[in-house]
Structure 1
């Protein structure tokens, strides 16, 4: 099975990687193959290799060997590789965009966003390499030397999700590699090309030494093997809270460092003095962008009673104006959700809430994998649309009367990833935002934001308080070494 793209028809050459994994070159794995289906059409799109636990064990051992030489490379050598990967991604952006569109069901602008964000991760990682590697400490004895500096962890396991496969792979790989680590990347089985094959080809073109990066597509068994592998010192996982618990358990048995970026039940809070039209536009993007399939999507619209009617009308108007269809078609804004399993989950959450008394103002009925932008009101705090992470284009609207009540509603969740607050008064919005229990807060903006230079992560069930991005990546992908000497070095 191969893909025909409208742009670069020869990149990446399917003959090179079909049915294979990337582990010191492209080779056939013991685990067989994994088929990739295009969500918009249901047609076969590609076939990649499926890594078995034995394949993972072999990759881990090879990564450990290659990683020693990579860690010993100069900073400029590692930076040069990332710079060439940056150029390769720019050169192949048309083909990369089409893979993201066809494999993940996102519209072309979603592909453009991932490419731009991936480039941002590479560029920021290059900047990380120029930061001071350590500290000169005050020695305990006069005339002595005391130094502390950061060293690579060794082999890092990266488990990336399907909803932003290129971005989330680069978000961990770029800093991990430039700081001297080797890596095992397990892309999601729904997006193993845009989250795995393309990443391998970019770094291959960039001249990353053989064995430093291994790309190992597969399901839960493959992921478990990556986490448990004795050569893996640290695991960076992005995905569901349920799967994150299992990753933490397996990593904990090996006393490994683990970074968990998990789910969210995020609120957009609209205060009484907000610009209603602007807030509704931000709300629509936050709930409906990429079919709501993002951990940072807005799962609650918490709106002051004085403006809830106007806000809801504007949000419904926004939802009805969004064309649905094959993301390759001109003008389409809402593509398919990723799978039948995900579509059925969204349908259950909405249907059960409607049975409980919620009212559908627009949307609410799917056709195959196409679920329309949906707005609900008359939502109470016992309904699935209030309590569960939906991961679909659904906007539940909940009114409030006072700011204390709004804080209570927004914080009524075990998650704590992100939030947005809308008000014409910046001091008021900022004061309100400080009361929310989230790792990220955005004023008069969307809930779904990401930046390479920012510490991305959440509280509660949204993660284990780890952060990736900005200088936080130094803490995640290195460890301290302390050295003393009786005299000056």
Structure 2
């Protein structure tokens, strides 16, 4: 598979509807994570660029808010159509820039098209409610309005989708948007989307993409006075910091953070089905997904059989250059992440984990690792791995499985396998998490479903009416239709 894009064309910021060279003296080399080849050299944005982007979004937003709901809806539908037509181009970018497998890249495009299509309905759903008043002759109206300008900070792992997930609903309901994509994936997570909406006919200035290094701009993107809502997807540590900044500046914040997701395999589960689901939920995109399985908790009655079937399935996964459509496991995003994963593995082995499989590591390419007899206090179970490492924990009872599942600061996604669906649902409802799936793996996403976590996995929800809530505000306007008597 070959990309249809010329990467050197992606070297300008998108600010105020113009493609501009960043004003920073610093540059960034965007590299293919598999072979380290340079895709493009990017002159970065500085504080001046960030300010300009926010001011442009603010200036363009008022007119956009007054635009017909049907016009805004049509524009998002056009963007979805264009994305479908550009599928080969963006799949090529995702493979080269993010190390995505062909299957993962295709799924990411599908999810993005689905979100654009779903959020095209939001303008029509911004209804005004009229309610009675206790005051004679008064009418109460409750208007749903855009917040103004939204700042979006998106991650490297699903950059296209996790940017569109916030950009599309924010624009649909009448906001201006400024996006700071992850440096490592600024094309698929930012510039490509800017170009997409430009071709769809979005008015200039409404969507701005600033490619900047946090070391240079610091907290300015969050603390700038223009944005009223900050949407962040990324690590819990950074999310906590952003939440503190937003609280200090009285901004609203939507956070989708890390996960330490479990699959619980109960003693009546179908081992074959559970193992198949676990392989997908663990190793899709090398485990670099916030919803990836981090801990696989298996009842001892099935433990040996599960480990055997799971290991056989993992042995069949192809590892290598993701330009090969048959490759399922491609590179880790950078060498620092590889080193971190290796340290967690080594530490867990020292703590008593047994190695069933530990493949070779060549640069950023890691072959699958399977650790058994893991306990919940081991490093591999306590930390979000974000790599192709399966930690399998044995338990002696359902109660122990639930206790271990909840013994985590995180609560994003999860999975329960049981031969009795009603019983599986009962167990699922006892897990402290925002999302959980019975007889399926943990990586699920649908445009009309509330997506988000509990505890240290985030605040707020994305998707459907929940995105409408995140990116709008309510205003009470009362209308006194008859003169109201006053005591003076």
Q: 2:200 aligns with which of 191, 201, 206?
A: 206
Indicate yes or no: 2:106 matched with 1:138.
no
Q: 1:6 aligns with which of 2, 6, 24?
A: 2
Q: 1:233 aligns with which of 214, 228, 231?
A: 228
Name stretches of at least 5 consecutive residues in structure 2 with no aligned partner. 483-488
Q: 2:356 aligns with which of 361, 367, 386?
A: 361
Indicate yes or no: 2:30 matched with 1:33.
no
Q: 1:479 aligns with which of 450, 473, 480?
A: 473
The alpha carbon displacement at 1:485 in A equals: 1.2
Number of aligned residue pairs: 480
1:332-377 CA-to-partner distances (Å, cap 9, x unmatched) read 1110010001111111101111111111101254221111111111
1:302-357 CA-to-partner distances (Å, cap 9, x unmatched) read 00100011111111111111011000024211100100011111111011111111
Contact 1:349-1:385 within 8 A present in 2 as well: yes
Q: 1:122 to 1:19 in 2, by over 3 A?
A: closer
Structure 2: distance between partners of 1:9 and 1:129: 33
Task: Identify the range of structure 1 (176-185 vs 357-366) with the bigger mean alpha-carbon deviation.
Answer: 357-366
The alpha carbon displacement at 1:30 in A equals: 1.2
Q: 2:315 aligns with which of 301, 317, 320?
A: 320
Structure 1: distance between partners of 2:158 and 2:218: 18
**Corresponding residue number in structure 2 for 1:298:** 293
Structure 2: distance between partners of 1:439 and 1:230: 31
Structure 1: distance between partners of 2:57 and 2:2: 36
Equivalent residues in 2 for 1:205-284 (5 A)? Answer: 205-221=199-215, 222=217, 224-284=219-279
Residue aligned with 2:362, SS: coil
**Corresponding residue number in structure 1 for 2:280:** 285
Structure 2: distance between partners of 1:172 and 1:324: 32
Residue aligned with 2:387, SS: coil
Structure 2: distance between partners of 1:157 and 1:101: 27
The alpha carbon displacement at 1:124 in A equals: 0.8
Residue aligned with 1:139, SS: coil
Contact 2:264-2:417 within 8 A present in 1 as well: yes
Q: 2:427 aligns with which of 432, 442, 448?
A: 432
Contact 2:177-2:206 within 8 A present in 1 as well: yes
Equivalent residues in 2 for 1:82-481 (5 A)? Answer: 82-221=76-215, 222=217, 224-464=219-459, 466-481=460-475
Structure 2: distance between partners of 1:247 and 1:23: 25
RMSD: 1.5
Give the TM-score, by structure 1 length: 0.96
Residue aligned with 2:427, SS: helix
Structure 2: distance between partners of 1:381 and 1:29: 47
Contact 1:19-1:33 within 8 A present in 2 as well: no
Name stretches of at least 5 consecutive residues in structure 1 with no aligned partner. none
